[in-house]
Amino acid sequence: MANQDIHDVLTIFRPVYDHTNRVDGYISLEVSPLLADETEKTTAEARQLWAHLNQPNLFIKIPATAQGLAAIEACIAEGINVNVTLIFSLEAYEHVVLAYLRGLEKLAERGQKPLSQVASVTSFFVSRVDTLVDSLLDEKITATSNPAQKHHLERLRGKAAIANAKLAYQMYRSYFVEGPKAERFKTLQAQGAQVQRPLWASTSTKNPAYRDVMYVEELIGPNTVNTMPPATIAAFQDHGRVALTLEQGVDAAQQVMEDLREVGIEMRQVTNRLETDGVALFKTAFEDVLQHLDDKRRTLAEEQAAQGNSTAAQAAISSGHSRGIAGAESKQ
């Protein structure tokens, strides 16, 4: 069912892909999240989905778990487009970037497919970071009786997610745009390679006290994607402000991270927990869908069987009634 839906939408968006010269018009299909901790099975399912749909504007979505990194590299090396999902930390993001570069280098060595035909995005989850960090800050606010400390903690609420994303974008620039690290990609770019674009996911505002478009307005910059739910799109169309904001306030973003560390909130622990919870949520959602489909299948099968039995019974009654009439007529 998913394959058919994705196939239909790939066809609809193919003109966008062609018109933008392979920049936009992509659709993502994820491998089973139940395989998130199994490299070989993830890679095998990615290959199977890619071959089955056989469309150049398809992204195979693979989580950025430790086991997923090797699968990401293998897929890129085979010319399979990858949407790397469930990225929360700068450390995980850097590992993903390096996996992409290694994959491109292997693809270039094999010479089986032009580098220009391979694309990848890195889905960095945003608002979930604030949800967890804010809850940890609230615990500390409740626990302190110091007014100055309470005020300091309150000022940090709603700041971690955007700061984290802005620092991630600086890392993107260091690997793909300018600086000593970017030389590795420049060699690949000369052969047609595309940058691996950062994608901001989970950008709806969970806390009603915050501006409803804050995760859109503050994360606008070149070569980025923002996947917004319909309500956020409508809100941004209504009152969103457009400006190049991603590279503004980078020093302030770094200061937010230092302030969080000083008050006892380690971002690595936060992001590790978010990754673990994220994989678990993906698995639960996937299993729920399968269970609902199986329940529906069983219900339909039972209804069909009952209808079949009813039809058979009616046919038998009708047949018996006909034989009775025929017998009576023969006696007459």
- 3-class DSSP assignment, residue 220: coil
Q: What is the DSSP letter of 19?
A: H
Catalytic residue among 61, 150, 159, 331: 61
Q: How far lies 116's CA from each of 72, 119, 191, 266, in Å?
A: 17, 8, 8, 39
User: CA 294, CA 300: separation in Å to the nearest integer?
Assistant: 10
User: CA 327, CA 332: separation in Å to the nearest integer?
Assistant: 9
Whether the CB-CB separation of 227 and 151 falls below 8 Å is answered with: no
User: CA 243, CA 220: separation in Å to the nearest integer?
Assistant: 7
User: CA 297, CA 222: separation in Å to the nearest integer?
Assistant: 46
Q: Is 61 a catalytic residue?
A: yes
Q: Which two tokens stand for residue 207?
A: 């806390």
- 3-class DSSP assignment, residue 265: coil
- Angle formed at CA 330 by CA 325 and CA 331, multiple of 5 degrees: 100
User: CA 35, CA 92: separation in Å to the nearest integer?
Assistant: 19
User: CA 237, CA 231: separation in Å to the nearest integer?
Assistant: 10
The position carrying tokens 């000083």 is: 262
End-to-end CA distance of the chain: give it in Å, rounded: 61
Q: What is the DSSP letter of 22?
A: S
Catalytic residue numbers read: 61
